[in-house]
């Protein structure tokens, strides 16, 4: 019987420029870990690694973090087998020149590379942002010949993560399902020092969402008591600002104490994932936490990263389309994100009543099932490399 070809063990150089927030480093770190879990050796070059101190406090085997400095310091290393430019960052010409040299000279480090065929080729990946818009499938894996500069003559390939089989898939660790299956919610909450008395649990990871006042008012008025677990940083600041305003203007707004708050410290990515597994409803934002919320399989509301030209409106609608979101869920997303035309939401709004949230469960379960049937992003990258060489 023919054995499937063994996954080549390659050396990867992944470059990450932190623009703002935690998505750039969050996605890149997960990609490194995902690759390492599949036998790869990875160097992560990042210009601001500070968030990794809490996101990944114990690091990961076979992943090395290097400071990406200006001017460029190669730290005495030579380029590996695969270059990844995350989110359109530009790798320094010195490094590209070294990579080009190793290819044109057939300059293989056979001690590193166990797959001669793969190593003789240029594998230069431009990893793009996640979107459900149709251009992702159209552009996925397209080649982009380099016409000038240190990499002249080489070819980059675009790699688009995505939700459908004609894209590069989503980051997913091989053991995520087994870890989830044995997750003990009460034990995890106790370990975090979260005093839980059976209330509905909602996590809040957001920017400054237009729908936040409506959410807090609706939760305070709801028959079901809620413990809101507010993540550190912008979400905490937004809630505290709003509470100051509400308490000044409407001192009785949460008089029944139906809504209580707990402010979380920065969690590791591992604990952040478990936070999403523990809650009945999650509010997430950006790119990476959206994917984690999908794997959690619980209902969630997503605040999309806002862009100045409002390009995020189409991106949000494309996601809702892919999700086959029912009308109440669409409305909640539109209100939360302040989309034009979104109906304003009052205390009796369907944004978060218990029944409505429960009705969304089927949509998210179905989405998760369909995604689990596709290969994850790291596996698809490895397949792509094997096929194109």
Q: Which residues bind ligand TRH (CB under 6 A)?
A: 19-24, 26, 55, 129, 205, 231-232, 266-269, 272, 285-289, 305
Residue nearest to ligand TRH (CB): 23
CB 85 → ligand TRH: shortest distance, Å? 15
DSSP per-residue letters across 120-183: TS-EEEEEPPP--STHHHHHTT-EEE--SSTTTT-EEEEE---SSTTS------TTHHHHHHT-
Quick one: which of 346, 329, 314 has its CA closest to 281? 329
DSSP per-residue letters across 271-330: HHHHHHHH-SEEEEETTHHHHHHHHHTS-EEEEPPP-TTSHHHHHHHHHHHHHT--HHHH
3-state SS, residue 342: coil
Identity of the residue, 112 or 305, whose beta carbon is nearer to ligand TRH in the bound complex: 305
CB 253 → ligand TRH: shortest distance, Å? 26
CB 365 → ligand TRH: shortest distance, Å? 21
Say which residues have a Cβ less than 8 Å from residue 291's Cβ, sequence separation at least 6: 130, 170, 171, 172
Identity of the residue, 23 or 162, whose beta carbon is nearer to ligand TRH in the bound complex: 23
Identity of the residue, 103 or 229, whose beta carbon is nearer to ligand TRH in the bound complex: 229
Identity of the residue, 89 or 219, whose beta carbon is nearer to ligand TRH in the bound complex: 89
Q: What are the φ and ψ backbone dihedral angles of 14, each rounded to 5 degrees?
A: -110, 125
CB 63 → ligand TRH: shortest distance, Å? 15
Quick one: which of 52, 48, 103 has its CA closest to 81? 103
Catalytic positions are 24, 287
Identity of the residue, 19 or 152, whose beta carbon is nearer to ligand TRH in the bound complex: 19
Question: In residues, how long is the chain?
Answer: 389
CB 89 → ligand TRH: shortest distance, Å? 12
Report the distance separating Cα 315 and Cα 308, nearest Å.
13
**Are 259 and 243 within 8 A, CB to CB?**
no
């Amino acid at each position: 019987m023919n054995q499937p070809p063994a996954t080549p063990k390659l050396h990867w150089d992944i470059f990450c420029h932190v623009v703002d927030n935690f998505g750039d480093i969050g996605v890149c770190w997960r990609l490194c870990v995902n690759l390492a879990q599949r036998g790869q050796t990875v160097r992560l070059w990042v210009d601001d690694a500070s968030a990794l101190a809490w996101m990944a406090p114990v690091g990961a085997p076979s992943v090395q973090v290097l400071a990406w400095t200006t001017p460029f310091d190669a730290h005495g290393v030579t380029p590996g087998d695969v270059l990844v430019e995350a989110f359109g960052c530009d790798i320094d010409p010195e490094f590209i020149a070294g990579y080009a040299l190793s290819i044109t000279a057939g300059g293989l480090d056979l001690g590193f590379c166990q797959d001669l065929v793969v190593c003789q080729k240029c594998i230069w990946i431009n990893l793009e942002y996640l979107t459900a818009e149709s251009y992702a499938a159209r552009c996925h894996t397209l080649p982009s010949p380099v016409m000038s500069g240190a990499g002249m003559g080489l070819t980059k390939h675009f790699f688009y993560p995505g939700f459908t089989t004609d894209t590069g898939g989503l980051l997913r660790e091989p053991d995520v399902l087994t870890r989830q299956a044995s997750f003990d919610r009460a034990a995890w909450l106790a370990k975090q020092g979260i005093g839980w008395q059976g209330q509905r649990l909602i996590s809040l990871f957001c920017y400054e969402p237009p729908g936040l006042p409506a959410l807090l008012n609706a939760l305070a008025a709801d028959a079901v008591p809620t413990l809101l677990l507010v993540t550190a940083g912008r979400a905490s600041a937004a809630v505290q600002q709003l509470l100051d305003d509400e308490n000044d203007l409407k001192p009785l707004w949460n008089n029944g104490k139906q809504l209580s708050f707990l402010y979380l410290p920065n969690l590791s990515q591992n604990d952040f994932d478990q936070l999403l597994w523990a809650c009945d409803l999650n509010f997430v934002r950006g790119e990476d936490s959206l994917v984690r919320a999908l794997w959690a399989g619980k209902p969630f509301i997503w605040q999309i990263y806002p862009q100045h030209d409002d390009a995020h409106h189409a991106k949000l609608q494309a996601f809702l389309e892919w999700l086959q979101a029912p009308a109440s869920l669409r409305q909640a997303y539109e209100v939360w994100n302040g989309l034009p035309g979104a109906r304003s939401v009052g205390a009796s709004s369907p944004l978060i009543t218990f029944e409505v949230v429960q009705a969304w469960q089927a949509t998210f379960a179905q989405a998760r099932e369909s995604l689990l049937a596709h290969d994850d992003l790291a596996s698809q990258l490895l397949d792509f490399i094997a096929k194109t060489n």
